[in-house]
Amino acid sequence: MTDHDGAPTTHDGQPLTEALTHALAIPGPVAIMVHGYKYAPGHATACPHRSLFAPRDTARHLRGLSWPQRLGDGSEGQFGPLIGFGWPARGSLRQAHDRAALAGTGLARLISRIQHHAPGRPIRILGHSLGARVAIGAARQVPDGAICGLILLAAAEFGTQAMGLPCHIYNVTSAENDLFDLLAERLLPRPQKGARMLGAGLHGPGKLTLRLDDAATLDALRGLGYPLAAPDRRICHWSVYLRAGVFPLYAALLQGRLGYSALSSALPNTAAPNTARQRFRRQASGPRAGIA
C-alpha cells in the first residue's frame, strides 16, 4: 500500500478493495509495516516495496533487508496479513517530518477500510524512525480499539505525541540511536517546550520502553525465549532491526503471541542509566548541531 496525499492506494495500481479482499483472506491478526526517512514508493533506488517490504531480500545494502522474510522466519505457524505502507519520506528531515503527518491520515483511512472488510480483526503496526510518527498520527485519528498495538523502532517522534493513546505501545530504543535523537530534537519543531524524543523513554498505562542496550532487558527477553545479540555499534539508527534476534520478538508482538502483561512482568522495573544519551547531550550543549 502507498499513501497519496493522505489517501491509501495500492503500489501496483490494483483497486484497493480488491487488494484488501485478497490480503485479508489470510486469517490472523493484521500487521502493518511503515518505513522511515529516505524511502519513497516508486523511487529508483529507495522504494520500500522493492526492499524493506519485499517478500525476500532484494536490496544491495543491509539496511534494506526484507522485513517480511524475517518476520515470517520468526512466526509460529501461519503469519496473518502483512501489509507494507509506503509514503514519500525523502527531501530534508523537516520536509519528511511534515509529510509523515499527512501519511498518518492515509494510514488511518487504510485502517478504516481494513475494519470495514474484516471487522474485529486485531491490527498492529510496526514503524521505524519517522514511520513511528506516521503510526502515532494514525492512532490519534482512529476510534479507540481500532489499533491493538504499536511497535515503534528508534522512533523519530516526540514522546508527548504518544501519551494518552489507548493502544499498547512498545517503544524500542537503544543507545546506538541517541545521537539521532538529539539531532532530531534540535532540527524538528517541538510540540511543546521540553518535549523529548521517544528514545528518552515512554511511561504510563499500556506503555513499555524496551532498551536493547540494557543488559537486564536483554536477560529478560532471553528468559521469554527471545535471545537478542548484544549491541555491536556505537552509533546506528537501524540497529533496532539489524540486530540478530529482533525479528522473532517483533513477530510475536505483532501476532499477539507475546502479550503486554507477560512482557511487562518480565522486564526490569528500571533500566540502567543511559550514559550514552547523557554524554551526547553534554557534547551537543554547545553550538547548534546539524546533519551532514
Domains in the chain with CATH codes = 2-283 (3.40.50.1820)
Residue 21 grid cell: 479482499
Residue 6 grid cell: 493522505
Cα radius of gyration (the chain): 18
User: Quick one: average pLDDT of 52-60?
Assistant: 89
Average pLDDT score, the chain? 91
Q: What is the SS3 assignment for 96? A: helix
Q: How far apart are CA 46 and CA 150, in angstroms?
A: 24
- Per residue in 222-275, pLDDT (tens digit) is 999 999 999 988 999 999 999 999 999 999 999 999 999 999 999 998 655 555
pLDDT(285) > 80: no
SS (H, E, C) 251-290: HHHHHCCCCHHHHHHHCCCCCCCCHHHHHHHHHCCCCCCC
Q: How far is CA 92 from CA 2, 96, 97, 188, 272, in A?
A: 20, 6, 8, 11, 34
Confidence of residue 280 (pLDDT cuts 50, 70, 90): low
Would you call 230 exposed, middle or buried from its count of C-beta atoms within 10 A (0-12, 13-18, 19+)?
A: exposed
pLDDT(282) > 60: no
- Per residue in 124-173, pLDDT (tens digit) is 999 999 999 999 999 999 999 999 999 999 999 999 999 999 999 999 99
- Per residue in 178-205, pLDDT (tens digit) is 999 999 999 999 999 999 999 999 999 9
Q: How far apart are CA 199 and CA 174, in angstroms?
A: 7
Residue 291: predicted pLDDT: 31
